[in-house]
Amino acid sequence: MTILGQLADVLWNPWLMGLFLLTGLVYTLGSGCFQLCCLRLWLSQTLGSLLRPRRTNSGGLSSLQALATALASTMGTGSIAGVATALTLGGPGAVFWMWISAVLGMMTSCGEKLLSVAYQRPAPDGGLQGGPMFYLRWGVGSPLLAAWFACACLPATLAGGNLVQSSSIAASLQAAFGTDRLLSGLVTTALAAMVMVGGLNRIARVSSALVPAMALLYLGSGIAVLAARASDLPQALHLIFTCALSPQAALGGGAGWTVAAALRYGTARGVFTNEAGLGTSAMAHGAARVDHPAIQGMWGIFEVGLSTLVVCTVTALVILVSGVWQPLGPTGAPLTAAAFASVLGPIGAQVVALSLLLFAFSSILGWSYYGQQCLRYLVGSDRLLPLYRMVFLGCTLAGALWEPGIIWQLVDLCNALIALPNLIALLILAPRALSMLADWQRHFT
């Protein structure tokens, strides 16, 4: 294992995993299991709102635009390549712990988005801005932790938000169509540059178009695979639950999996996929103009449910029922592509390649916005924005040529460093966030 992997393991096992789960548990119990007991309420405020006439927001994004921008970053390669990696490193039991972390993370995400709106500030371009930097500074009252988050988030945007995405795009296109990795990197970089120069509004418009299309394409194909292999679903689910508690007994211990490994990689991949607890997607929601902060919290719950409980679950089940998965076999995007192709034929691999391209490209756009927000907070202006964009686009090109395994270890390390101050803030501000949620709930009902 590399030094990066060792550092990531030191932070994740067991300290950070415990802090993620503790934060989710505090918000879940403090809200009376809101994500489960008030399912109809938050669904009516999210999916239900799409059927109602919308008001035009001035000086900020709509809730739907903020969600699309956030989903653009969360529904990246973690939904396709990351789940396959978790299955290889942690076994099928990792899927179970991914579910648990997602259920708890729904309320963590609710708290993040609520606080981002509660402490949002006017943006230099006339819109709104919010996120962990602002509730750390103005809520917790700690400029030091706010600066820590922003400083740690900048390399995270280059690693998990860029290098991983670009690497997965290049690898997938090479496997499906034989496309040269350098060519893939050049095209991805050029397209990202065209969108980035338009700022948040252009990123939001592109994300609003990409996210529904890529979700329908990927989920539709995945459901087709699961329908064709429906008879294998019970066995796949049994394997997930058995390996979550006793992986060596389930598979004879040949793969070397343990409960700790399943918990570690399931939680890490879940966090990377839905970003609940990282605080990054809260920056997109912090630009929304809504009547009450809790309304954006509902979209935070929906975001985690869609990105992890739906999209990642489809990926995991497709891999497990496909017949191509082996405990010590291939991993990453090629494994997911092979699973889809086992039922849909060559078009299955092409669907995965196209989905991965859309997922990863939209994620690059979302994370570029997060990096720009953090830099703006640290500098106090946009004077270094051109330099950041040059570095970011350079990493987009470099990612197409890097070794994915090393990048994933760097991602885990960066996620740990940005999560620590954010989780501390969420725990300190939990009474205020839960009080605002309860107040909104009382007036609504």
Q: What is the pLDDT of residues 66-105, one digit of tens each?
A: 778 788 777 766 778 778 888 887 888 888 988 988 999 9
Average pLDDT over residues 288-300: 91
The reported pLDDT for the residue numbered 293 is 94
DSSP string, 271-304: HHHH-TTT-STHHHHTTB--SSHHHHHHHHHHHH
The reported pLDDT for the residue numbered 38 is 93
Half-sphere exposure of residue 301, counting CA atoms within 13 Å on the CB side? 29
The reported pLDDT for the residue numbered 404 is 59
User: Which region among 33-37, 230-234, 256-260 has the lowest average model confidence (pLDDT)?
Assistant: 256-260
CATH topology of domain 3-48+59-444: Amino acid/polyamine transporter I (1.20.1740)
Contact 117, 288 (CB under 8 A): yes
Backbone angles phi, psi at 122, to 5 degrees: -60, 140
Contact 116, 130 (CB under 8 A): yes
For the CA atoms of 278, 283, 286, 287, the dihedral, rounded to the nearest 10 degrees, stands at -160
Confidence at 252, pLDDT banded by 50, 70, 90: very low
User: How many CB atoms lie under 10 A from the CB of residue 353?
Assistant: 24
Confidence at 59, pLDDT banded by 50, 70, 90: low
User: Which region among 55-64, 104-113, 225-234, 416-425 has the lowest average model confidence (pLDDT)?
Assistant: 55-64
Higher pLDDT, 209 or 429: 429
**Short-list 313, 413, 356, CA closest to 92:** 313
Average pLDDT over residues 403-419: 76
Is the pLDDT at 249 greater than 60? The verdict is no
Cα–Cα separations (whole angstroms), residue 269 to 274, 276, 336, 417, 434 = 9, 11, 15, 16, 27
- Determine the Cα–Cα distance for residues 324 and 356; give it in Å rounded to an integer: 19
Higher pLDDT, 384 or 55: 384
Contact 34, 305 (CB under 8 A): no
The reported pLDDT for the residue numbered 55 is 56
**Short-list 122, 321, 135, CA closest to 222:** 321
pLDDT tens, residue by residue, 128-145? 899 999 999 999 999 999
Kindly list the domain boundaries of the chain, sorted by start residue.
Answer: 3-48+59-444
- Determine the Cα–Cα distance for residues 263 and 255; give it in Å rounded to an integer: 16
Sign for the CA dihedral angle at 416, 276, 65, 207 comes to positive
Contact 155, 391 (CB under 8 A): no
- Determine the Cα–Cα distance for residues 70 and 373; give it in Å rounded to an integer: 14
DSSP category for residue 55? P
Half-sphere exposure of residue 6, counting CA atoms within 13 Å on the CB side? 3
The reported pLDDT for the residue numbered 92 is 87
Average pLDDT over residues 265-284: 79
Is the pLDDT at 407 greater than 80? The verdict is no
Q: Do you find a cis peptide bond into 14, omega within 30 degrees of 0?
A: yes
pLDDT tens, residue by residue, 316-331? 999 999 988 887 677 7
Confidence at 269, pLDDT banded by 50, 70, 90: low
- Assigned token pair, 321: 């029922």
Contact 265, 94 (CB under 8 A): yes
| pLDDT, the chain, mean | 85
Q: What kind and span of H or E run contains 122? A: strand 121-122
DSSP category for residue 159? I
DSSP category for residue 382? S
The reported pLDDT for the residue numbered 253 is 46
pLDDT tens, residue by residue, 415-440? 888 999 999 999 999 999 999 999 99
- Assigned token pair, 107: 């309320």
User: How many CB atoms lie under 10 A from the CB of residue 407?
Assistant: 21
**Short-list 206, 246, 260, CA closest to 13:** 260
Is the pLDDT at 267 greater than 90? The verdict is no
The reported pLDDT for the residue numbered 172 is 72
The reported pLDDT for the residue numbered 57 is 53
User: Which region among 64-68, 104-108, 134-138, 262-266 has the lowest average model confidence (pLDDT)?
Assistant: 262-266
Amino acid letter, residue 333: A
Is the pLDDT at 308 greater than 60? The verdict is yes
Higher pLDDT, 180 or 329: 180
Is the pLDDT at 1 greater than 80? The verdict is no
Helix, strand, coil shares of the chain, percent, nearest 5, are 80, 0, 20
Backbone angles phi, psi at 53, to 5 degrees: -60, 140
Residue 252: left (phi > 0), alpha (psi -120 to 50), or beta?
A: left
- Largest Cα separation within the chain, whole Å, is 60
Average pLDDT over residues 358-368: 87
Alpha-carbon Rg for the chain, nearest whole angstrom, is: 20
Is the pLDDT at 335 greater than 50? The verdict is yes
Confidence at 254, pLDDT banded by 50, 70, 90: very low
Average pLDDT over residues 122-126: 81
Higher pLDDT, 254 or 48: 48
> What spatial distance separates the first Cα and last Cα of the chain, rounded to whole Å?
53
Cα–Cα separations (whole angstroms), residue 88 to 173, 402, 427 = 22, 20, 33
pLDDT tens, residue by residue, 390-403? 999 999 999 888 76
